Every structure is written in C-alpha cells, then in structure tokens.
Amino acid sequence: MSLDHRPDAGALGHVLTDVLHAPTLLSTLPPHAAYDADLQRQVLEGAAEFVGGVIAPLTRVGDEVGARFEAGKVTMPPGFREAYQAFWKDGWPALAHAEEDGGQGLPIVLEMALYEMLSAANHGWTMAPGLLTGAYETLKHHGDATVKSLFLPKLATGEWLATMCLTEPHAGSDLGLVRTKATPQPGPNGATHRLDGGKIFISGGEHDLTDNIVHLVLARLPDAPPGPKGLSLFVVPKCMPDGSRNGAHCDRIEEKMGLHGSPTCVMRFEDAAGWLVGEAGKGLGAMFIMMNAARLHVALQGIGLLEAAHQRATAYSLERRQMRAPGARDTSLIAEHPAMRRILGTQRAWIDCGRVLAYHTALELEVSHAHPDAARREAASRWCALATPIMKSAFTDQGFAGASACLQVFGGHGYVREWGIEQVVRDARVAMIYEGTNEIQALDLLQRKVLPDGGAALAGALEGLVALPAERQRFAVLTGLAGRITQAATTRVDLPAWVADDFLRACAVALLAWAGTRLAAAPGGGDERWQAPLRALRAWVLPEFEMRVRIIEDRLAAST
Amino acid sequence: MSLDHRPDAGALGHVLTDVLHAPTLLSTLPPHAAYDADLQRQVLEGAAEFVGGVIAPLTRVGDEVGARFEAGKVTMPPGFREAYQAFWKDGWPALAHAEEDGGQGLPIVLEMALYEMLSAANHGWTMAPGLLTGAYETLKHHGDATVKSLFLPKLATGEWLATMCLTEPHAGSDLGLVRTKATPQPGPNGATHRLDGGKIFISGGEHDLTDNIVHLVLARLPDAPPGPKGLSLFVVPKCMPDGSRNGAHCDRIEEKMGLHGSPTCVMRFEDAAGWLVGEAGKGLGAMFIMMNAARLHVALQGIGLLEAAHQRATAYSLERRQMRAPGARDTSLIAEHPAMRRILGTQRAWIDCGRVLAYHTALELEVSHAHPDAARREAASRWCALATPIMKSAFTDQGFAGASACLQVFGGHGYVREWGIEQVVRDARVAMIYEGTNEIQALDLLQRKVLPDGGAALAGALEGLVALPAERQRFAVLTGLAGRITQAATTRVDLPAWVADDFLRACAVALLAWAGTRLAAAPGGGDERWQAPLRALRAWVLPEFEMRVRIIEDRLAAST
C-alpha cells in the first residue's frame, strides 16, 4: 500500500464534463471560446501527474521535519523549494492568470481542481501558493501602474509568493481592531508609505521557496477613523526592487496542531517601505473582492483532505482482516464490515456530491466574470455569494470529522504516524478556522445574504436549479424558514445568530441531495460507482436536514 | 488565565450527593457501612488538590518532551516519576483496593472520580496507572497463591505498575488471532511457563516510573485450539522476584497523534518466564471480567477531557473581545456571542448529564459486587452491561468532537500550542479506539446485550429508572425498535450491524435526557448553573434522538 496520495483526474473529469458540462458552458464565454474536453482532460491529467509525482511524496517530511525558524529565517522542509521551483516553472500557479501577464488564461475551475488535488496530496506545502492568485488579482484590480509594474509580473508567474497580513494579536475575526500604522512617507524605489506594526498567523510570512515575498498588509493611516472603514491596503515586499532588504521581519513561527510544512509567522513591520493599493480606507473591500474565490478554495481543501483520508482508509480496509462480517464464515476484510462501509460510503458521498456543488460554483464564478449577459453575470454572482459560505463551512467541517471517521477504520493503527491518516486529521482542523471561522460563514450566509431581502435571493438561486420534487420541497422549507426568521428577527435581534449554524447545515444537506441527483442523472450515473454514495447520502447524510429544521422551528416557537 | 486544569470537586460532589444520593446508597452496602458525605467530600477535595497541584502542571511537558526511547529503555518526561512516586505513596491508586491488600477499601465511585479528574488534568500521565486496578483485580480473582504472593501486594499499593498485553500486529479488535506462544517450562522463582511472541500498542510497556512492571499477557499454549478459546493469561514481570531481568523487552515506542506522555510500546517476549493466571483457555474471560470497569473508566476519560476543554474555552471566552454580539453597542466578549454560548452550553450539558449517568453506573457496579440481595446485584449487573458500552462510545465521541468544538472558541489561537486546547483534541482522539473501538461498543450493545432476549433486558433496565412521561416515551421507542430489529434480523443477518451505531446514539441521548431531569430535580437544580445546560441539552442534543430513530426506521423499512 502506497502512502502517497494519488489524485483521481478521471473522477474530477467526470464531474466537470459528464455532470456539469463544463466544456460546453465555458466555450460560450468569450475568454474561453477555445476550451474543450480534450484541453480539460490534458490539464487534469497533467496536474494529477505533477501533484502525485512531485508534491504528494513530500507530505510526511513536511509534517515530521516541518518548517524551521532560526534567527529570522525560515528553512522549509527538504524538497519543498525544489518542488516549488518546478511548480512555478511548469506554469501551474499561473493556470488561471491572464495571458497578458504571463499566465495561461484558463478558467478558474481548473485552478480549483489543481488546488483540490494539491490539498489532498500535501496540505502544508499547498499553503505556500495558496494566497498567490488572490494577491495577483488584488494587485491587478486595485494596484496603480507603479505597483503593477513592480510586482504583478512575478506574482502572475508565481516566481514570487505572497501573503495576506490581516490578523493582529487582538484582532482576529474582528479586523476593525487592526492597529498597524501606515505613515505617508516617500521611500526608496518610489515607495509611498512607511509601515509599522505586528501581525500574526501569517502563512508563509517567511520561507526559502522563492527569492522574494510580497506582503499585502492591512493598516491604518494617521487620520483614519476607527473600525473597518479606517483600513487601507499596502503592498510591502520582503526585498525592495533595488535588491535591498525591507523592514518586514519574521520574529518566530507558531507550533501548531498540524500543517507543519507551512510556517505560520509572527511578523514585525518596522520602518517598512510600502505602496498603497487602491483607495485609502478601502482596504477591506480590496481584499474582500477575492473572498468568494478564496473561500471556495478552502471548501475544496475540505473535499481534498476528505478524499485523502478516504483513499488511505479504503486501501487499508482492503488489506486488513479482522473478525467476521455478518453472514461470513471466516475472518473478513475490514471493508466488508457494515460499520466500516458506512464510514467510507458516507465520506464518498460528501466528496462526490461536494465536488458537484463546488465545481458548479467555480463555473458560476467564471460566468460571473465573463458572461456576455449582465443578468446572467448577476445571477451567477448571487449564487456564489450564497453557496460559498455554505460550502466553506460544511466541507471543512466534514473534512475534519470525516477524516477522523476514516482514522477509525485503522483502529489503533490510525492513532500512530505509520499510515499518515492522523496527519490528515490534524492538518484538516485548521480549515474550519481560517478564511473566516465556520461560525462566521454561518452568520455571513444568514445575516448578510439571506435575511436582508427576506430570503428572496436564496429563493431565486434555488429556483434556478433543475431539481426533483423532493429537492424542491426541501428548498421551499429553507425559503420558508428564511422568511419566518426575517420576520421574527424584527423583535428578536439575537434569533438569527442562534440558528445560523443550523440554517447553513440544512442548506448544505439540501444542496448535497440536489448534487447527488445530478450525479445520478449524468451518463454512467447508474453505475455502482456513483449509486453507492447516493445510497449512503440518503441513509446517513440527508436525515440531518429534518433535525436542523426542527431545531430552527423549536427556536422560532420559543418565546426567547 | 492559568493553563493548568483545575478539578471541580464541588460539581462532582453535587452529582454524587445531591443527585445520586451516593452516601445513603453506599452505606447500605456492608463493605461501605461507614461511608458518608463527609468522607466523600474529603476524598474528592484531596483528590482535586493532588491532581490540580501535582499532575495538572505536567500536561504540557508530557506533550512537548514526551516519553523518550533509547536502547530498550523509556525515559518519561521530566517530573513524571516524582509525581507517580508521590501518587502511590499518598495511597491514591489503592483507593478502592481491599484493605487486606493494603488498599483503602473505598467504593469504586471515588476511584472513578479520581480518574476523571486525572484524565482531565493530564491524560498522558494518567495512562500509567490506568490499568493498575484492572490488573490488581484480575490477579486477585484469578491468581493462585504463588502469583498473589509474588505480585499482588505491590500492585495493590501501586508501587509496581501493570500492563495488559493483548494486541499483536495482525490481531487488533480480533483477539482470536493472537499468536504469542506459552510453553509449559519450569523457570526461576517457580515460574511455570516460557513466553515468546510480539505485542504492540502496550501502554506503559516500559518506563522509569516504578522499579518493576507487571505484564498480563494473552498467549496460546501448545495444544490450544485456534480462536479466542485457545487463549490463556500469564503474568510476566519485567524484573523477576530474585531481581534478575526477565525476557520482556521494549523494542520501540510509537509516534502518535497525541498522548505523548504515555509510551505506547512494541514489546518482545523472548524466553520470558511467566505464571499462568486462572485456567488454561480462559484467558479472555479472566480479562473481560474487568471490562465494565475499564470501559467506564474510558467513558469518564471522555467526560474528563471534555471538561478540560470546556474549562479552557470558557476562560478564554471570558477574556477575549471580538465583534459585537446581537444587540450590543460595543465589542463583546466571545462568551456573549450565541455561537460560542451554544458550543460551551452543549459541552456543559454533556459533562453534567454524562456525569450523572456515569456515576450512577459506578454506583450500580458497586451494588453488583456488594449488595446483600442477589436480585439487586443481578439487576445492577445488567444495568452496567447495557449502560457501559453506551457511555464508552458516546462520551469518548463527544470528548473528541466537543474538544474540537471548544478549540473553535479560540479561533486561530486554538490551532497553535499556546493555550493547550489542541493537545486536548489530539489526546482525546485515542479514547474512541482503545478498550474496544466505538463501533465495537455499538455491536456489543445491540448484538450481545439487547437482541439476544429481544430487548427484554433493555426494557427492564429502563423501567427501573424513575422517569418523566417524555422520557418513558423515548424508552418505549427504544425497546420497540429493539423488538423490531430482533424480528427483522432473523431474515436479515446484517441488519443489526447497519443500525448498531444509531441505536447506541439514540440510547445515549435518551439517557442523557433522563440524567438532565435528575439534575433538575436535585436540591439546587433550579439554579442557572444547572438549568442552562439543560436548555442546551433540549435545544441541541435531544434532536438527535429522532434523527437516529428515523435512520433505523428507514433501514427497517428498506428491503435490504
């Protein structure tokens, strides 16, 4: 049994082509008129080969050796730099970046597939390029000519890596509390501001993968108002264009539960030269425009990690014999015991149906950028705004809980390092926290996206789906609840916060069921490969829907 | 904020005295006629002081330094040996051992409380004495005069520690596959057998806490039949009575997800001298007699770890301010946000109600040993047989899932070592596996204990509880399902294995609800301290009951 993850390009291709008709849809968008199933297959297979061959074998060394800090420098685990250099030189990080910037101009859905494979193969390593596209897009859309000329080309290709410097010790989920100071002050190479302050939880704040690191830093100008509206965004490179070292220092890295291959840095900006990106006071907005793509990436990390766990547990269950399964005459493979089949089948259902939802959303994200029809773009945007927090929360919760369930398949062997499954569990835990904790996703969904129009946008998005009567009925329950919560919240301001988690989970399960039907309706959907997870979905995932609805109804019926 | 766990003797005392009337009940048992609330309070307070003062401060060093292996020897983390020496010299491990053996003869419920505190304070350290009482009882009940004279006194006081050597690389849950050989052969000091074979996952197989380690080893005699009936039990000391080293060697220790303070040893028995314990071929039975107590211990580890996580998360939530809670004008404490209140309230409910159930069962265990009335002893035994797998599975599942929920309260700070919460999550994971995986608990409950008599024993046990109509109704649903599963299983042999997990969870939730009502009915039960968790139980724990029932009903209704 190989312990390295092997990406399954075929399963992803099936979802993209047979279920979602991605080639047909994408070729209707002007930037991707030449896109077809052949190109898609080549990219997926190439990605699977690179990820499986180069990145997956570095998972364990990433965990066991980990990133090492000494005297301000971070040494990455053996092999990490070489792998990253091959990664960017082969063009992988630039897959969906604009051709005019040196990218390949491919649709974002392929970048999502690449990163799902990467997260499954080696979550720690994948953190390094994880924020690159977000930084590239931020500078592309908000940077002025100087900023673009200095930083965009090397971010576009991935020759340099990037960070997002948001969190401070006292400012986690609440970025309005950020204190890092930006002072207008001309600096070397035309820098416009001086940055001073401390940031924490900066993934890849320092490393030896690339010759330069470009920090996007949220900071406060001298005359800025308190709160989120006082925040501006700055680009602060580790090395200045003239080659000198800038005042961006890594003071230490965190000891973490997992993700040891990714240095989580405590950063100190001291007399650091920076350039304003976008307008003063609009820093949060400049970063948040990237939010849907970033959160969709994290949702797919959940799927990827679940796939990694499922692959390991399946292989183990087909090797190990213990006790007799019901009706068997002799010792059975673990894979034959109902309790193990249930664990594996349930995760398979989440992965398969989750992919349909996630890649459908990635396609809608592309549509929201590139469709010729403004109304269609608008509808796609609304879908992404609603679906993304649902998936970020539900898929990363399942990434952790499902990986832990897969660990159980190994019995005592799962708790030791030997098979690599406990690393998946430890690595997966962080995805429930970053890019907005899962509780914040639930508030974002209900309070910001569903309640403001009494559930109308939600109803519109769900009505846009081709669905069976049972699915429609669940959608109707959700929109009905949205209306009642809106109503009740006028007098009970805390109500939405109490039921936000349940509402999100109910949406997730209802959408998974819809996704399952799409799988079944696709060519080959009647095969056992796709039918078995659907049975698991119906038996063990769907019953949560009614439970969540009941919890919300009970809260609505209560006096407080 | 102190990072060390502080045991709450008062809360345990409330459950024991005010809810379960332990002093009254115990004083009706001849061995504990002198037991009273004062004695109980003194022991609980003394235990809390020792555990909080001596054991809790060693948690982090246990995790970070861990047990170290070199050349066959295991060095325990700094401070572990001193703490253990103080522990046994103060009489703690002998709390419930017989006075005639040098113990204190106190009821097992106090030992359970001590170990709940210990597990919460330092799960890794607690593994060392964790099997001591089981080994003591096994030798006391099954050892012959020689075995007792050689080993019992020092196991009774805890001057020596003990292991259970069951698992082999190919024999985990399925002990029938054990291959270690026992050959009748007179040895030094009157040893009767020679042992040869390899064992894995031996907690505390080697360490420097005590001068000797007593291994209880499951092995197969030359003429033994294959399978579980061919297994005999042997006692194999690390050091022989004459002081010479026996052939029990530690070849390495495992790298684990957590529990670094407990060495998990790969043991090699080579020409090792041993003594048969009990009859040949009855090795499993001799060990399994200790099973209910051992599993109840593990159930309480789940509660203890949940309490440790809850205590840390509560303290953090009362220190940290982020964003505004609904209706607040300014940044709120994390503790004021509904999502956080829900996480903390749910765990509080599991801990409080879980304790009622667990200590009720510990009292029944005592009754099953010491009540003058045989029928009462028998009924108590039946309760323990049914309740123990339910609690072992449900409480350790919640220990892990709830600790992970508590980690979420810390946001990104939870994923780093700083606050100690991620260690609780990693440590807690193992309890879902050992002493029989949680899936095996579910099979044990349904297939071995509920179905053989069509649910009659279950019905009897539940009828014996003082309960409200809503609780009775849930009990009736459970016994009704038991009957229908029994019926259906006559033609569908695999049915019980498919629904065993759901049946166990439904039982667990129904019993938690019953326990909650006991809490509410006790003196002071109307206080917010006890009412708040009950509201959490009703809102977020109880709805699982109907979901589980629905899953079972759907499976019953299905054709396969």
- Whole-angstrom Cα distance, residue A548 to residue A390? 14
- Judged against a pLDDT cut of 70, whether residue B2 lies above it is answered with no
Confidence of residue B3 (pLDDT cuts 50, 70, 90): confident
Q: Do A322 and B497 touch (CB under 8 A)?
A: no
Q: Is the dihedral of CA A72, A78, A82, A88 positive or negative?
A: negative
Span B238-255, average pLDDT: 97
| Type of residue numbered A163 | T
- Rounded to the nearest 10 degrees, the angle between the axes of helix A123-130 and helix A421-429 is 30
What beta strand segments (E) does A205-263 contain? 213-220, 231-237, 248-253
B310-330 per-position pLDDT tens digit:
999 999 999 999 999 999 999
- Whole-angstrom Cα distance, residue B479 to residue B486? 10
Confidence of residue B290 (pLDDT cuts 50, 70, 90): confident
Residue B66 with chain A: CB contacts under 8 Å = none
Catalytic residue among B116, B168, B336, B435: B435
CA distance B87 to chain A (A): 28
What beta strand segments (E) does B307-381 contain? none
CB distance from A505 to chain B under 8 Å?
Answer: no
B181-205 per-position pLDDT tens digit:
999 999 999 999 999 999 999 999 9
Q: Rounding to the nearest 10 degrees, give the CA dihedral for residues B462, B465, B469, B470.
A: -60
DSSP assigned state of A453: G
CA distance A36 to chain B (A): 41
Give the residue among A354, A365, A434, A337 at the shortest CA–CA distance from A391: A354
Compute the mean pLDDT over every residue in chain A, rounded to the nearest whole number. Answer: 96
What beta strand segments (E) does B9-67 contain? none
Q: What percent of chain B has pLDDT over 70?
A: 99
Q: Return the HEC string of A150-191.
A: HHHHHHHHCCCEEEEECCECCECCCHHHCCCEEEECCCHHHC
Residue A411 with chain B: CB contacts under 8 Å = 172-173, 433, 437
**Region of A158 on the Ramachandran plot (φ > 0 left; ψ -120 to 50 alpha; else beta):** left
Long-range pairs for A35-39: beta carbons < 8 A, 24 or more residues apart: A35/A106, A35/A107
> The tokens 């409200």 sit on which residue?
B468
A134-189 per-position pLDDT tens digit:
999 999 999 999 999 999 999 999 999 999 999 999 988 899 999 999 999 999 99
Q: Rounding to the nearest 10 degrees, give the CA dihedral for residues B300, B301, B307, B312.
A: 170
In sequence order, what are the residues at sequence separation of 6 or more whose Cβ sits closer than 8 angstroms to the Cβ of residue A336? A325, A328
Q: Do A501 and B434 touch (CB under 8 A)?
A: no
Q: Is the dihedral of CA B171, B174, B175, B178 positive or negative?
A: negative
CA distance B209 to chain A (A): 23
User: Do the Cβ atoms of A377 and A369 come closer than 8 Å?
Assistant: yes
CB distance from A550 to chain B under 8 Å?
Answer: yes
Please list the alpha-helical segments (H only) found in B444-468. Answer: 456-463
CB distance from A319 to chain B under 8 Å?
Answer: no
Q: Rounding to the nearest 10 degrees, give the CA dihedral for residues A432, A438, A441, A447.
A: -170
User: Do the Cβ atoms of B485 and B498 come closer than 8 Å?
Assistant: no
Tokens of residue A52, six digits:
């499986």
Query: Which B-chain residues 461-490 have CB contacts (< 8 A) with chain A?
Result: none
**What residue ranges of chain A have pLDDT lower than 50?**
none
**Alpha carbon separation from B487 to B430, B440, B461 (Å, rounded):** 35, 22, 21
Q: Which of A326, A422, A501 sits opposite B339 (nearest CB)?
A: A501
- Scored b (16 or more CB within 10 A) or e, B439-475 reads bbbbbbbbbebbbeebbebbbebbeebebeeebeebb
Residue B179 with chain A: CB contacts under 8 Å = none
Strand-pair category, A264-277 with A193-203: antiparallel
| Type of residue numbered A486 | T
- Whole-angstrom Cα distance, residue B63 to residue B261? 6
- Judged against a pLDDT cut of 90, whether residue B560 lies above it is answered with no
B266-280 per-position pLDDT tens digit:
999 999 999 999 999
B399-442 per-position pLDDT tens digit:
999 999 999 999 999 999 999 999 999 999 999 999 999 999 99
Tokens of residue A132, six digits:
């690159």
3-state helix, strand, coil in chain B (%, to 5): 60, 10, 25
**Alpha carbon separation from B466 to A337, B20, B24, B379, B462 (Å, rounded):** 38, 12, 17, 15, 9
- Whole-angstrom Cα distance, residue B158 to residue B174? 30
Give the residue among A185, A196, A194, A240 at the shortest CA–CA distance from A214: A240
* SS3 at position A241: coil
- Whole-angstrom Cα distance, residue B138 to residue B160? 15
Q: What pLDDT was estimated at residue B173? A: 84
Q: Which of A432, A539, A547 sits opposite B408 (nearest CB)?
A: A432
Q: Do B498 and A325 touch (CB under 8 A)?
A: no
> The tokens 């796609």 sit on which residue?
A380
- Whole-angstrom Cα distance, residue A493 to residue A479? 19
CA distance B146 to chain A (A): 35
Q: Do B167 and A439 touch (CB under 8 A)?
A: no
- Whole-angstrom Cα distance, residue A359 to residue B150? 68
ipTM exceeding 0.95, yes/no: yes
| Type of residue numbered A173 | S
Neighbours of B190 (CB within 10 A): 12
B435 in catalytic set: yes
DSSP assigned state of B321: B
CB distance from B546 to chain A under 8 Å?
Answer: yes
- Whole-angstrom Cα distance, residue A266 to residue A187? 24
CA distance A246 to chain B (A): 27
B455-513 per-position pLDDT tens digit:
999 999 999 999 999 999 999 999 999 999 999 999 999 999 999 999 999 999 999 99
Q: How many residues does chain B have?
A: 560
- Whole-angstrom Cα distance, residue A539 to residue A534? 9
| Type of residue numbered B192 | T
- Rounded to the nearest 10 degrees, the angle between the axes of helix B338-370 and helix B495-521 is 100
- Judged against a pLDDT cut of 70, whether residue B1 lies above it is answered with no
CB distance from A140 to chain B under 8 Å?
Answer: no
